Amino acid sequence: MSTRQDGRSGEDQLIDRFFRPIAKHPGALGLVDDAAFLTPPAGSDLVLTVDAVVVGVHFLADDPADSVAKKALRVNLSDLAAKGAKPLGALLSLSMPENTGDDWLAAFARGLGEDCAAFDCPLLGGDMTGTPGLLTISITAIGAVPTGRMVRRKGAQPGDVLVITGTIGDAVLGLKLRREPNNPAFARLNRTARALLADRYLLPQPRVALARSLHEHATAAVDISDGLAGDVGKLAAASGVAARIEAKRIPFSAPARTALSEEPNLVETMLGGGDDYEIAATVPENRLKALQAAGTESGIDVTAIGRIEAGEGVTVLGLDGQPLALKQASFSHF
């Protein structure tokens, strides 16, 4: 509780100082209404998603505040992108310990504002509360997709090609590198390579630019937040099909390949570790080129890594053509 001479609460003053400047969209109503409004675009369905990030679970206590804000937004933008939806706006729910400094908040708001602008996803509103617990950031993102065109996890058909954007496993290696900088697997990585991996953990690259092509071409899609094998497994289960992934076709970054050559067992971590925020999608064979061309235009590699088949489950075929036995299919909090 706090008493202020002007009758305005501490929350209002924090909102004034840090969040009002980045919430200029008319739907934010200047953040004075404790609610936002949105005129839905004609001919659209809305896609809604929420994800929370907690210090020590989804980000580290010493991560820069601006990148924490960006990650909290981007994990949601990644969900929208996988649905083929264009962002319309976001709501922030911020639970802050009392010792959260103004410097932290200023950097957090700056980062959030930068990404809201970069991804054309205006901050529409939110809620700020004190907590005796841990810093917890929950962002809700709203997107639009042409009516009836939302891309779901359900819809993959036997014969479809399984594709993946970008590269897999960098983020989990980046986290491992933060925790075990002297792990022999990383011995041959130079500073640039280490920075690339670290950055992939800190700052996911949501594939927003591919959303439109996904709702034009994909039969199903999922964003890889909990690990390639596990998330493709969810897509396969939702679609009632099997997915076969060829390990040799999975795109790895140069630093990841270097680490893998030192420690081949890392492949399991990389396929199950999560935080990639790439998109796995299924496309009919005759749409593959169009999707890849759209990716190229947006600077996003789209790589075919396998096939959808009748049946169930995910099989990852190793270099020898034999299925890998993955001990842990995906990340889970419980």
Q: Binding to a copy of itself (CB under 8 A): which residues in 298-327?
A: 313-314, 327
**Residue 315 parent element (H or E):** strand 313-317
Of the candidate residues 63, 93, 251, 258, the single one contacting a copy of itself (CB under 8 A): 93
Closest by alpha carbon to 104, among 132, 137, 133? 137
The number of residues that bind a copy of itself (CB under 8 A) is 85
In 233-270, which positions are buried (b, 16+ CB within 10 angstroms) versus exposed (e)? bbbbbebebbbbbbbeebbbbebbebbbeeeeebbbbb
Q: Which is nearer to a copy of itself, 258 or 328 (CB)?
A: 328
Closest distance between a copy of itself and the C-beta of residue 195, in Å? 27
State the Cα–Cα distance between residues 166 and 124, nearest whole angstrom: 30
Of the candidate residues 126, 166, 204, 295, the single one contacting a copy of itself (CB under 8 A): 126
Closest distance between a copy of itself and the C-beta of residue 216, in Å? 17
Closest distance between a copy of itself and the C-beta of residue 151, in Å? 9
Distances (CA, A) of 251 to 171, 265, 269, 300, 328: 14, 16, 15, 12, 20
- Stretch 178-197: interaction string toward a copy of itself, x if CB under 8 A: --------------------
Closest by alpha carbon to 49, among 156, 152, 130? 152
Which two structure tokens, joined as six digits, stand for 198? 């670290």
Q: Which is nearer to a copy of itself, 78 or 253 (CB)?
A: 78
Supply angle C-alpha 63, 19, 93, rounded to 5: 65
Closest distance between a copy of itself and the C-beta of residue 191, in Å? 30
Closest distance between a copy of itself and the C-beta of residue 318, in Å? 18
Residues 26-85 that bind a copy of itself (CB under 8 A): 29, 32-40, 44-58, 79-80, 82-83
Of the candidate residues 190, 192, 286, 334, the single one contacting a copy of itself (CB under 8 A): 334
Q: Is 207 in the site for a copy of itself (CB under 8 A)?
A: no
Q: Is 125 in the site for a copy of itself (CB under 8 A)?
A: yes
Supply angle C-alpha 87, 46, 242, rounded to 5: 90
Helix 191-202 to helix 170-179 angle (10° resolution) is 110
Q: Which is nearer to a copy of itself, 19 or 189 (CB)?
A: 19
Q: Count CB neighbours of 147 within 10 A.
A: 10
Q: Is 9 in the site for a copy of itself (CB under 8 A)?
A: yes
Task: Kindly indicate which of the ranges 208-216, 230-238, 241-249, 291-299 contains the residues binding a copy of itself, using the contact rule CB under 8 A.
Answer: 230-238
State the Cα–Cα distance between residues 318 and 328, nearest whole angstrom: 16
Task: Kindly indicate which of the ranges 62-70, 90-98, 193-201, 284-292 contains the residues binding a copy of itself, using the contact rule CB under 8 A.
Answer: 90-98
